[in-house]
Structure 1
Amino acid sequence: MEQEEKLDAIIIGGSYAGLATGLALGRALRKVLIIDSGEPSNRQTPYSHNFLTQDGIPPAEIAAIAKQQVLMYGTVSFLQERVVDATKQAKGFKISVQSGESFTAKKLVFATGITDVMPDIPGLTESWGKSVLHCPYCHGYEVRSQKTGILANGDSGYEFCSLIAHWTSDLTLYTNGSSTLTHEQTVRLHKHKINIVEDEIYKLGQTNGYLNSIQFKTGRVELVTALYARLPFQQHCDIPQLLGCELTSDGYIKVDAAQKTSVSGVFACGDNATRMRTVANAVSMGTTTGLTVNKELIEEEF
């Protein structure tokens, strides 16, 4: 059933970026609906770090507190549902959810995040966000000085090694097959006492998501307690593309400094629009989005 009253904004995605957008708009007295499917990409991560006042707090706990505070503003509502379609109308957008309901709004915000594409390595999915990590700024302090690996190759592997070497001196680059490093890169990594292993990985040994070893197809086993990896990803929601939103060459939703997409009236914030994948950055982008949406509404109404 279609809701008759047109909202000022619909926010698709109710994690940090979406809730921050909702908070800014709620405080601006805007009528807002946040729709969330309840599948945050960090749902396996036990603790969040590098976010002032919330360092070391479970991500779900931060989100729950945020949701409670945002919904204190009477013009903001929350719906746990999955959006299945969005269409641009003459003055705004129509959003349909899985239950069959539809809603209309003047502005549309996507805070839908990304989905990591897991390689076919047993044990990696179970360990993702716990001991297989994407970011040293989020998790590096907790595994500092430990026996650490990097799953990467070529330029990406070299750059990742230079970054992680600051957190541990016991570091190995696992290329999972023949190295594509240049000769100069290989020499420099060896100079910094970073090992390079080209054996193909059979599986990761882990208990409840915490690594203890890497097992290779040759039968050899190496002990390791943390492994960094930059996995390929895809947009968690393809509706922005269906609306005509451009993507960057890396696969993120293309936005300007005000979080505006290439489609008028559509905004994007959080992990779907940046490689800077932290809670603090998602909140910052969401706040910026809320301010921008409100400013655009004022300019259209005043």
Structure 2
Amino acid sequence: MRLSKFDVIIIGGSYAGLSAAMTLGRSLRKVLVIDSGKPCNIQTPNSHNFLTQDGKTPAEISTIARKQVAQYDTVTFLSGFAVEGTKTDFGFEIKTEKGDLFEGKKLILASGVKDIMPEIPGFAVCWGISVIHCPYCHGYEVRNQKTGIMANGDFGYEFGKLITNWTEDLTIFTNEKSTLTEEQTYKLAAKGVRIIETEIEKIEHTNGKIEQLILKDGSKLPLQALYVKPDFVQNSAIPSSLGIEFTDHGHIKVDPMQKTIIPGVYACGDNTTQFRSVSFAVSTGTMAGAACNKELIDGEF
């Protein structure tokens, strides 16, 4: 099936995609939003650090957002997963896993990322609940609690420094031989931060809330929160197939207007930044939508 052509196709209908869709809908653009309905924060109980929405569930926020975007009658939603994207004379052709084809003059990639869970029993169940990634999103709720960080080297040091703002009961689990320098280790110890090299065997929890870590030497450590920044991959293969450039960390490289190096293609949200938060995703989506609309206008003159 081929629907009529669109001004813009947005791949991904979470916060960044919905924000871009609202901006374009308010710009009278004919927009298609293709969304698989599987956001990376699906397990997270509450979202924080977003004005007017603090403490609401991610689903509450996205439901309200989608309802508001749907009021703009030039915006169309499609439930599905986009699997192919190709450049055409018109702009871009997108194919879904069901074989549906759509064309858009411009393309916005708000497809997010997929976290790669370490093979530690209990980790995946606790992810987004008590195994967390961002102190600005979740740190207040676990303040002054027994807290861990799974990290090593320079990143472990910098992350450790950061989390001392929220708790004085902090342990860094390097999960292998520590690569922190002597000076880094000394400075952390002076702040009361412990460093444990023994690998984590499993996480014991109740409904995703950590109770303790079991280490491979059999020791048990009571814990209430564990900060981790897991590896990730792009949630969509379309950026790579279009020849889009990535940063050293694996994010889509964009300019301040959320443009990629491919003319007519923008990207926004978690697939473009290490700073993963709802508020930041919304702001990048707004910028992508506005910049995309400006490019469409410029093309008419």
Measured against the shorter chain, the TM-score band is over 0.9
How much does 1:101 deviate? 1.2
Deviation, 1:235, is 0.5
8 Å contact kept, 2:213–2:221 = yes
Question: Which whole-Å CA distance do the structure 2 matches of 1:168 and 1:179 have between them?
Answer: 22
Residue 275 of structure 2 corresponds to 276
Q: Work out whether 1:2 is the aligned partner of 2:7.
A: no
Contact 2:83/2:237 (<8 A) preserved: no
State the SS of the aligned residue for 1:301: coil
CA distance in 2, matches of 1:193, 1:262: 46
1:142 is aligned to 2:141: yes
Structure 1 residue ranges, 4+ long, deviating more than 4 angstroms after superposition: none
**Match for residue 244 of structure 1?**
243
1:56-86 deviation line (CA, Å, top 9, x unaligned):
0000110000000001000001001011111
Q: Which residue of 2 aligns with 1:96?
A: 95
- TM-score in terms of structure 2 length: 0.99
Deviations 1:9-68 (A, max 9, x none): 000000000000000000000000000011100000000000000000000110000000
The SS at the match of 2:108 is strand
Question: 1:98 and 1:128 mapped to 2: Cα distance?
Answer: 28
Residues of 1 paired with 2:30 and 2:199: CA distance? 54
Instruction: Report the equivalent of 1:152.
Output: 151
What's the CA shift for 1:137? 0.1
Q: CA deviation at 1:91?
A: 2.5
* 1:75 and 2:64 correspond: no
Tell me the amino acid that sits aligned with residue 300 of structure 1.
G
Percent sequence identity over matched residues? 56
Q: Matches of 2:287 and 2:215 in 1, distance apart?
A: 46
1:194 and 1:43 mapped to 2: Cα distance? Answer: 32
> Equivalences for 1:81-230 in 2 at 5 Å?
81-230=80-229
Q: Is the 8 A contact 2:9 2:106 kept in 1?
A: yes
Unaligned 5+ segments in structure 1 are none
Q: Deviation string for 1:92-119 (max 9, x for gaps)?
A: 0111112221111100000011111111
Counterpart for residue 286 of structure 2: 287
Distance 2:286 2:173 in 1: 39
Q: In structure 1, what is the Cα distance between the partners aligned to 2:110 and 2:175?
A: 34
For 2:24, the aligned partner's letter is L
Aligned position for 1:14 = 13
Given that 2:83 and 2:236 are in contact with CA atoms closer than 8 Å, whether structure 1 keeps it comes out as no
Give the match for residue 38 of structure 2.
Answer: 39
| Cα distance in 2, alignment partners of residues 189 and 34 from structure 1 | 47
In structure 1, C-alpha distance between the alignment counterparts of 2:170 and 2:100, rounded to whole Å: 52
Q: Which amino acid aligns with 2:263?
A: S
SS at match of 2:171: strand
Instruction: Name which of structure 1's ranges 87-96 and 48-57 shifts more when overlaid on structure 2.
Output: 87-96
Would the aligned equivalents of 2:90 and 2:103 in 1 still touch at CA under 8 Å? Answer: no
SS in 1 for 2:279: helix
CA distance in 2, matches of 1:22, 1:234: 24
Please give the TM-score of this superposition, normalised by the length of structure 1.
Answer: 0.99
2:85 is paired with a residue of what secondary structure?
A: strand
Deviation of the 1:2 alpha carbon: 1.6
Distance, in Å, in 2 between the alignment partners of 1:8 and 1:86 is: 15
Q: Does residue 261 in structure 1 map to residue 230 in structure 2?
A: no
For 2:261, the aligned partner's letter is S
**Unaligned stretches of 5+ residues in structure 2:** none
Aligned residues between the structures: 301
* Letter aligned with residue 34 of structure 2: I
- Report 1:27-66 matches (<5 A): 27-66=26-65
RMSD of aligned residue pairs (Cα, Å): 0.6
Look up the equivalent residue of 1:181 and give its one-letter code: L
Per the alignment, in what secondary structure is the counterpart of residue 297 of structure 1?
helix
